[in-house]
Structure 1
Amino acid sequence: MIKKITIVAGISVVLLATACKTKDLKMNAAQKETVSNKKEVVYQVFTRLFGNKNTSNKPWGTFEENGVGKFNDFTDTALQEIKDLGVTYIWYTGVPHHALIRDYTAIGISNDDPDVVKGRAGSPYAVKDYYNVNPDLAVNPANRLQEFEALIARTHQAGLKVIIDIVPNHIARKYEGKNNPKNVTDFGANDDVTVEYKRDNNFYYIPNKHFEVPDTEKALNGEENPLIDGKFEEYPAKWTGNGSRLAKPDRNDWYETVKVNYGIRPDGSKDFPELPAGFDTKSYKEHFDFWKGKDVPDSWKKFKDIALYWTDKGVDGFRYDMAEMVPYEFWSYMNSAIKVKNPNAFLLAEVYNPNEYRNYIRLGKMDYLYDKVETYDKLKDVIRGKSLPDGLSDIQNGMADIEHHMLHFLDNHDEQRLASPEFAGTPEKGKPLMVVSTTISTSPTMIYFGQEVGEAGNENAGFGTHSRTSIFDYVGVPNHQRWMNGGKFDGGQLSQSEKDLRDFYKRLLNFSLKSAALMGKYQEIQTVNRHETQGYDSGIYAFLRWSDTEKLLVVTNFSWLTTSNFEIKIPSYIMQKWNLKDGNYTLTDQLYHKSAIQLQVLNGVGKAHITIAPSESFIYQL
């Protein structure tokens, strides 16, 4: 049982030194094959919202009332500012053409039925056409693909790489592949709709049943629309995206989508070739060779073609939505094909079952998975006073063999904003979480646009929920808009505290990119200090990171009310590994370049007096 604690203003300290043994990532040769040997930082941006300068934020507001951002809003200046923040990849969220409520019939796009669209701007995870992009995002919707191709080129010119979404588990109920390449047939075009399941059907069916719209709130908040009639013609009804087999799904189901069939029978058994024993240690090339000539389900081929289409366009990687709802054998098939074409492709998957992590990494050939269920959830519990931070050590040690593959984040489009009252409460309270999230492992770090200026997601956008920046509505993002400053991207409208926060992120992220120690070893020193160090309060967490050229001591105070003073202890066996003899060492701050402390090594044990004020972070170097 965990005793409830009150944790106050977060402070973080990092001490740096020199010379030690080389890194040990505990990865086999196949795992090391394509993963980065340096820290990567992903900047997730909701493309529709990034460049929107309109501040109206009318609930359920239209495109015209509330505005929308465009591909062209990512100017050379904007991209350079993102890169200078300490970013290596941009994940352009919501790029593929998805269902939305706006009339584009003039360019050959059919209108979507509001009865099966969430919000007005639509969910980016109800894709309508995988071979084109969202027309809302283009200055000239007829040339939307060319405008996105130009954005890919601009992003690369800025020294950044591009990630987009692929949503493999489900597609929009009204999918229309009007831009399919030659010889590519639409999803479901050749399905046998008289049966629930057939291996090469793209969908699962409910024979002899009409689809019924679930009992939901009034579409478009009750606004009049010729397509709103509580009906959507689909016969026979298909399984819903989250797996519901009801012809009339529940209002909480993913009713705007239909589930894709990957050759998993309704009883859960597999109707395709399985990987032989030992393939968890095989390279992507060996996986690719295994699938040559194999008879695989039609949906596998369709999604592989989609991924390779975008790879040919210059996209550098993909974020896979709800990847664990799709069998890892398919991922082996598709990811190995992507890697053969681009060995450096960045493949990130949304997986929430820790028992399946290794299957999706080693058998599915994923580079990175969300570290949501363990590190993210633990940090959220700590800052909300529901848990002690000590368990972070168990999490890190328990994932030692795959820690490089577990992408760290504190904010994304699905989660409550870090600065929201429902999470950290203030941007400053989020600082210690960010320091730990960034420095505790060799994994990539991800931030969500607006996080770096304290966006709290307070807007009532309409369909979207409070504390999250809506992905369903046309809306502005206030803190981000102040940084955008009418397209100057210079932070000209930010408050001083917002400027200071962005400066903190910039310093921390750039430090992570150049730090060799953050790609090295990890050692917790929480246990010894919790038991032996006076003043080492329950909200403090400490660990070590080192490589052959750097030594780091990270000390974080998750408390947010008081300054803490204590003398931290570094055990003798670490001092031996670091080859630090008895004596005093001056440690100079590298994050803000404002202070220095002394590390004293006496009888082989290292000690340093640390004063941690609310919301402070330091990086000290020997």
Structure 2
Amino acid sequence: MKNSLTKFSLALTLASCIFACNYQSKSTESEQQMEEMHKVVVYQVFTRLFGNTNTTNKPWGTLEENGVGKFSDFTDKALQEIKDLGVTHIWYTGVPHHAVIRDYSEIGISNDDPDVVKGRAGSPYAVKDYYNVNPDLANDPTKRLEEFEALIARTHQQGMKVLIDIVPNHVARHYEGKNNPEGVRDFGADDDLTVEYKRDNNFYYIPGKAFQVPEPLNDYKPLGGENHPLSDGEFEENPAKWTGNGSREAQPYLHDWYETVKINYGIKPDGTKDFPELPVQFREETHQAHYEFWQDKDVPDSWKKFRDIALYWTKKGVDGFRFDMAEMVPVEFWSYMNSAIKMENPDAFLLAEIYNPREYRNYIQLGKMDYLYDKVELYDTLKNIMQGRGSTDNLISIQQGLSDISGHMLHFLENHDEQRIASPEFVGKAEFAKPAAVLSATIDQAPMMIYFGQEVGEPGAENAGFGTASRTSIFDYIGVPHHQRWMNEGEFDGGQLSPAEKDLRDFYKRLLNFSIKSPAMAGNYAEIHSFNRTNTEWYNDRVYSYVRWSHDQQLIIVTNFDKSDSFGFELQIPASIIKAWGLEDGEYELEEKLYGKAKTKLHVSTGQAKIRVDLKPLESWILEIK
């Protein structure tokens, strides 16, 4: 392996050297900017599940049987504990009012049909009313919006920012705005139902055909087969609309997003655009220039509706949005909406769920997104490494390929769509993710995201109903056992956690707090892995190493992904890095920033350096030069 890597490694090392050697020449002008930057840590919490103390966990259980969390469960104590974990932003998932199988007709909300709702508690991505919030989450459903506004205020008082979802690609099959501001018309209210497509229609239609409920698959029955007055295999929609994932069938399949309908943004059925395109030079323009570009342009009605929705929540104090399946919506729309958001709040946090690397730069540069999911490259590679099916050598090309946009790529190891780390389907033990967590949090200046329960090893093992084990269900009323032990009946003090769970949470707390306070996290990166793969005996592809630095801090980070083997070697720091750091020959004290237990020194001789490293299984060192 060593010989086969030589040419590749030398090329990468040369690239790192060029980057490092150029650092000092440009550092003066950028030092002040870097000092003003801070690492962002997002805590994604499924709002419906967070505060639920009920442990019944009956499959397909009702709210009364399995319980549900409320906005009020995010007490000052709970929020302070989240903040102390090292969190800067909370993403409250599942807040906008989505379709739910519960009778709220007494307060003017129509009942939803189980035939077009996933689960009993409903998918958070089948939004039914964008101008209000899920009534399940309120102590008094008639005051649900006020209760959420109070949560926004409490979160801000604890020094954190608030994010919620917006899902521009699709809405619930039965969208019904009961709380529209004056002058706001519902989606589809003014559509021409006689045609498949019209630019200012909000939906696409299948004229002459009525919607049909999907055929059952694998014995699936809504609500697990429970009798329900609306669960009759029928749903009235005539003409049928295109389904959220783009299906043009009047009867979509059960694996389609049949509970939603696709929004029309002026993309004709043949794929051509029915709206102005951005000039190519707008890749370099500010959000102000993007905003000005759209002021005299005639745009589709759906664009205006979603812009108004985003600005409605921005005015209520929401600090940013996570945009679901953003790449299914044209990039020009994002320029239009995101520039409008930024005009209201220049610091708004705009995160897009995107899985096509070829589109990354379009959505950042033209769509004015701040951050994109780094799922397809970093997450997938780390998962393979953790499962023993991948090499750390593959991390080099990822960071190199994203070097111009690395600060825009949000890192995570869990979210509501992915398997829980501790599930047998992933790696079976939460501690196995420690090296990947260190790398995700420190490899660049991009945000890190933690999914609630990840910090205590939640395995997602429940048979919830519609949801499947390995992922904590987002469709059902359910309790989250490990998280509930940390919650400790509303004390939020970890009082019921096992020693191992407490240790895991302590690890995340140390890591995240270090990352948000470290000046180097806003600074420079160079991998030293390829140099050591070529030149260091016993160094292997279960280990990964890199350096981070700013004017005030120099870090050497090395991590061991192996679950059972320890590794010892003389880690070498290339001369280009030593030159960039301005280190003279001699011996330098090092401080390990996670646990402070590593005892080693940096030895610099004739412009090169080495460190004795002895890593235990799954151990990481973050070494700061003193």
Same fold (TM over 0.5): yes
Match of 2:442 in 1: 439
Match of 1:8 in 2: none
Match of 2:120 in 1: 120
Amino acid at match of 1:381: N
C-alpha distance 47-228 of structure 1, shift in aligned 2 (>3 A): same
State the percentage of identical aligned residues. Answer: 68
Amino acid at match of 1:340: M
C-alpha distance in structure 1 between counterparts of 2:426 and 2:552, whole Å: 37
Pairwise CA distance, 1:423? 1.7
Match of 1:387 in 2: 390
Match of 1:37 in 2: 37
Asked if structure 1 preserves the Cα contact closer than 8 Å seen for 2:602 and 2:611, the reply is: yes
Asked if structure 2 preserves the Cα contact closer than 8 Å seen for 1:23 and 1:548, the reply is: no
Match of 1:162 in 2: 162
Secondary structure at the aligned position of 2:489 is classed as: helix
Over aligned residues, Cα RMSD in angstroms? 1.9
Match of 1:278 in 2: 281
Secondary structure at the aligned position of 2:568 is classed as: strand
1:360 aligns with 2:363: yes
Q: Deviations over 1:414-463 (max 9, x none)?
A: 00012222223211110000001111111011000000111111111111
Asked if structure 2 preserves the Cα contact closer than 8 Å seen for 1:432 and 1:615, the reply is: yes
Amino acid at match of 1:44: Q
C-alpha distance in structure 1 between counterparts of 2:544 and 2:222, whole Å: 48
Match of 1:303 in 2: 306
Question: TM-score normalised to the size of structure 2?
Answer: 0.94
Match of 2:623 in 1: 620
Pairwise CA distance, 1:589? 2.0
2:519 counterpart (516, 519, 532): 516
2:259 counterpart (256, 261, 265): 256
Q: Deviations over 1:113-134 (max 9, x none)?
A: 0000000000000000000000
Match of 1:4 in 2: none
1:218 aligns with 2:226: no
Match of 2:586 in 1: 583
Pairwise CA distance, 1:616? 2.5
Secondary structure at the aligned position of 1:278 is classed as: helix
Q: Deviations over 1:176-202 (max 9, x none)?
A: 001000000010000000000000000
C-alpha distance 33-115 of structure 1, shift in aligned 2 (>3 A): farther
C-alpha distance in structure 2 between counterparts of 1:289 and 1:397, whole Å: 34
Match of 2:352 in 1: 349
Pairwise CA distance, 1:596? 2.2
1:397 counterpart (397, 400, 419): 400
C-alpha distance in structure 2 between counterparts of 1:589 and 1:438, whole Å: 16
Pairwise CA distance, 1:23? 10
1:463 aligns with 2:459: no
Match of 1:601 in 2: 604
Structure 1 gap segments, 5+ residues each:
2-19
C-alpha distance in structure 2 between counterparts of 1:419 and 1:39, whole Å: 26
1:484-523 matched pairs, under 5 angstroms? 484-523=487-526
Match of 1:247 in 2: 250
Match of 2:12 in 1: none
Q: Deviations over 1:184-222 (max 9, x none)?
A: 001000000000000000000000000000013111110
Structure 2 gap segments, 5+ residues each:
2-21
Match of 2:55 in 1: 55
1:532 aligns with 2:535: yes
Structure 1 window deviating more from structure 2 (389-398 vs 298-307): it is 389-398
Q: Deviations over 1:292-314 (max 9, x none)?
A: 02110000000000000000100
1:129 aligns with 2:132: no
Amino acid at match of 1:227: L
C-alpha distance in structure 2 between counterparts of 1:521 and 1:22, whole Å: 11
1:66-105 matched pairs, under 5 angstroms? 66-105=66-105
Q: Deviations over 1:342-366 (max 9, x none)?
A: 0000000001110000000000000
Amino acid at match of 2:193: V
Q: Deviations over 1:547-570 (max 9, x none)?
A: 111111111111010211111111
Pairwise CA distance, 1:604? 1.7
C-alpha distance in structure 2 between counterparts of 1:50 and 1:35, whole Å: 35
Asked if structure 2 preserves the Cα contact closer than 8 Å seen for 1:485 and 1:493, the reply is: yes
C-alpha distance 585-611 of structure 1, shift in aligned 2 (>3 A): same
Amino acid at match of 1:490: D
C-alpha distance 98-198 of structure 1, shift in aligned 2 (>3 A): same
Amino acid at match of 1:144: R
Asked if structure 1 preserves the Cα contact closer than 8 Å seen for 2:34 and 2:522, the reply is: no
Question: TM-score normalised to the size of structure 1?
Answer: 0.94
Secondary structure at the aligned position of 2:600 is classed as: strand
Secondary structure at the aligned position of 2:488 is classed as: helix
Match of 2:15 in 1: none
- Which structure exhibits the higher relative contact order, with contacts defined as CA atoms closer than 8 Å and separated by 6 or more residues? 1
Pairwise CA distance, 1:21? 4.9
C-alpha distance in structure 1 between counterparts of 2:276 and 2:357, whole Å: 25
Secondary structure at the aligned position of 2:280 is classed as: coil
Match of 2:570 in 1: 567
Match of 1:186 in 2: 186
C-alpha distance 22-412 of structure 1, shift in aligned 2 (>3 A): farther
Q: Deviations over 1:234-287 (max 9, x none)?
A: 000000000000000011100000000000000000000111220100000000
Asked if structure 2 preserves the Cα contact closer than 8 Å seen for 1:22 and 1:547, the reply is: no
Q: Deviations over 1:367-386 (max 9, x none)?
A: 00000000001100111111
C-alpha distance 425-560 of structure 1, shift in aligned 2 (>3 A): same
Secondary structure at the aligned position of 1:486 is classed as: coil
Asked if structure 1 preserves the Cα contact closer than 8 Å seen for 2:559 and 2:618, the reply is: no
Match of 1:15 in 2: none
Pairwise CA distance, 1:410? 0.6
Amino acid at match of 1:171: V
Amino acid at match of 1:249: P
Asked if structure 1 preserves the Cα contact closer than 8 Å seen for 2:557 and 2:623, the reply is: no
Match of 2:9 in 1: none
1:429 aligns with 2:432: yes
C-alpha distance in structure 1 between counterparts of 2:581 and 2:244, whole Å: 53
C-alpha distance in structure 2 between counterparts of 1:277 and 1:35, whole Å: 32
